Amino acid sequence: MNVSPLGISSAPLASLIPAQRCPVNSGQLLTACRLAWERGGQLIALWASDERDRHRGFCVRVLLGDSEGLTLLEHTLPDEGAH
């Protein structure tokens, strides 16, 4: 999925199929999911992780799939101790 028109930067992931990782804010997360849905993309996986041990708070990850490959969206929700 081409996310550059949304102002989202991406980095390729090592994978047998085309895949990219994109750190996003909450607005970008919603917009990217909406764009994927409008273009026939599918939700492959959704999960959250506690990353407070790395001082990052919590992270929500959304994996979307479309004809171009996989797009991993990562949104970090900092807690009061996050840096």
Listed range (17-21, 30-34, 56-60) with the worst mean pLDDT: 56-60
Look at 32 and 82; give whichever has higher pLDDT.
32
When pLDDT is cut at 50, 70 and 90, the band that residue 83 belongs to is: low
Check residue 24 and give its pLDDT: 98
Q: What is the mean pLDDT of the chain?
A: 93
Residue 81 binned pLDDT confidence (cut-offs 50, 70, 90): low
Round to whole Å and give the CA distance between 48 and 29.
Answer: 14
DSSP structural state of residue 17 = S
So what's the pLDDT on residue 11?
A: 97
Q: Let me know: does 8 contact 24? Beta carbons within 8 Å.
A: yes
